[in-house]
Every structure is written in structure tokens, then in C-alpha cells.
Chain A
């Protein structure tokens, strides 16, 4: 059995809250609460939020002991119609760019939501192929291009051995199209 190599740096616990759950109304108030309570990170919404709030968030994060974790929101790339999948990709490209600007860790993406056996959906096998070769790959490539500086990128390769054999919805191990933490 292979032995685990000791990590380069020791692990650390960076507790984090999703934006909606942070007490406070204004951006500053929420971030103040997180810092005062010993949180290490903040998770922001996906959708239009990063696009609309990137500049304000960059400013609000200055000098804080917090990092910007992922953005979380719904996604679905299981439509059988290529046009619908393409629309979903196009929807996420500017979000990824905004996250890159903010130096966020990345964007949480679920390849599929709901039941793949519904009419108008790809099969699990088809979804996997399309996501790996087309939709997911393009989003990941765009995320790499959107990171500044590109040398921040360091992550790739290894994944769970059983990943491919799992439920096509891949609950629990959602793919993140991610940028390395600066």
C-alpha cells in the first residue's frame, strides 16, 4: 500500500460562511463579523453577484485576514440540446472572469442537477463525456485564462478513483472550476 507523503505545509482550519448566512446587512458589516469571530474565509454567491460586486468586494477585502473562497450557485449542464448547454457555458464565462478578478478560489459547478432520467436530459454516460470534453473543459480553460497572474495556477490531475463510477449527478463531489488560492 502506498504511503502518504507528508504535506508541504501543515493543514489549517479556515472556517467559512456562505454570504446569505453571515449576520449583518452591508458588505463591511458581514466581513467584520467573520473576522471578529475567527473565520478564515468567505463564500460568495454565484450568478450576477460576482459581476455586480467584484470591485466593491476587492475594496472591502483589503487588509483583512480573510480569503475569498468559492462562489456557490446552481448550474446544470445535462440538457440534451447542445444549444441549452452552450447557453449555460456562456452564462458562466463572465462569472468566472469576475471571480478571477477577485482572486476567488473558484466556482462550484454541478454537472447535473435533478434527475437525469427526465426527458430532455443526457444520460449519465453522455453527460460525463460532454462535460469532460466540452462544457467542463471549456469552463476550466476559461478559469485558467481568467486568473491573474497565471502563475497562481498549480492544481491539476489527481482525483478520486471512484469518481467516474458514481452517480451521474455526482452529489457530494461537485466539480469546482477553480483558481488556486493566491
Chain B
């Protein structure tokens, strides 16, 4: 569709949706190629910040695809936060969110190096 629209239109990839619909993160990113201009990322078990379920949050295959196409755009977290186990009716405290953000950056950087 973006090709049919022509210059001015690109595509974005979203790890969460791709996890539901694609057979290969790497293959999908390679197919997008130079037209890929933005990437969203979230946990692959729950659509929350990556790293809460590290056994499920495996992005190495997708990162390999991004490296193969020379992707230099943003990989942006789009998703929610885990429940506040201390008080499920309340949002997670900001300091907990900040810890999770830093945990995500560590996880993603490690997997980028591995890819």
C-alpha cells in the first residue's frame, strides 16, 4: 500500500502485532527494507513494558532483521505497565515505572548486542 501511495508514505513495524501475525520478525523487517521508518516494541507475552517476562521477551530475531536492513530509526515502547501488586486499584508508582524503563533499556541493549 505504501508503495502504491508513493513518496511520503512509509511503514512501521510493531513487535506486539507482529508477534501475533508474523511467522518471523526478521523476515518481516527484511520485507519492509528501506521503507521501514519506525518501530514499536512491547512485551511479547503481555502488551506491557519489555522485561517483565524476560523469558518471553525475545527480540534477537527481529533485531537481526533491523541490522540487516541498516535500520537507524527509533525503537519505541508502546504499551502499558504491569499491575500494581501492592494495590491493584492504583497505578504503579513512578519510581517503579522508572526502574522498569531502565530494566527495559538494559534488556534491549543486551539483545541488540546478541543479534
List the interface of chain A (C-beta within 8 A of B): 4, 6-18, 21, 23, 37-41, 43, 67, 69-70, 72, 105-106, 108, 111, 128, 131-132, 136-137, 139-144, 153, 155-164, 166-167, 170-178, 180-181
Check if B24 is an interface residue, CB within 8 A of chain A. Answer: no
In the complex, the answer to whether A140 meets B28 with C-beta atoms within 8 Å is no
In the complex, the answer to whether A16 meets B74 with C-beta atoms within 8 Å is yes
Check if B57 is an interface residue, CB within 8 A of chain A. Answer: no
Contacts of B97 in A (CB 8 A): 21, 23
Chain B 76-104, CB-CB to A under 8 Å as 1, else 0, gives: 11100000000000000010011001101
Chain A nearest CB: distance from B55 CB in Å? 21
Chain A nearest CB: distance from B35 CB in Å? 5
Contacts of A108 in B (CB 8 A): 12, 38
In the complex, the answer to whether A175 meets B7 with C-beta atoms within 8 Å is no
In the complex, the answer to whether B72 meets A153 with C-beta atoms within 8 Å is no
In the complex, the answer to whether A23 meets B8 with C-beta atoms within 8 Å is no
In the complex, the answer to whether B31 meets A136 with C-beta atoms within 8 Å is no
In the complex, the answer to whether A143 meets B8 with C-beta atoms within 8 Å is yes
Q: Which 10 pairs between the two chains have the least Cβ-Cβ distance?
A: A7-B70, A172-B17, A140-B8, A16-B76, A69-B74, A41-B74, A16-B74, A156-B7, A140-B9, A178-B10
Please give me the residue from chain A that is nearest to B65 by CB atom.
A11
In the complex, the answer to whether B108 meets A15 with C-beta atoms within 8 Å is yes
List the interface of chain B (C-beta within 8 A of A): 1-14, 16-18, 20-22, 28, 30-35, 37-38, 63, 66-78, 94, 97-98, 101-102, 104-105, 108-109, 112
Chain A nearest CB: distance from B65 CB in Å? 10
CA distance A10 to B32 in the complex (A): 17
CA distance A137 to B4 in the complex (A): 9
In the complex, the answer to whether A155 meets B37 with C-beta atoms within 8 Å is yes
Chain A nearest CB: distance from B79 CB in Å? 9
Sampled A-B contacts (20; CB under 8 Å): A6-B70, A7-B69, A9-B70, A13-B63, A15-B109, A17-B76, A41-B76, A69-B73, A70-B37, A70-B74, A132-B1, A132-B5, A144-B7, A156-B6, A156-B9, A158-B3, A173-B13, A174-B11, A175-B10, A176-B10
CA distance A92 to B14 in the complex (A): 22
Contacts of B109 in A (CB 8 A): 13, 15, 38
Please give me the residue from chain B that is nearest to A171 by CB atom.
B17
Contacts A137-B6, A140-B5, A155-B37; A14 near B72 (Cβ below 8 A): yes
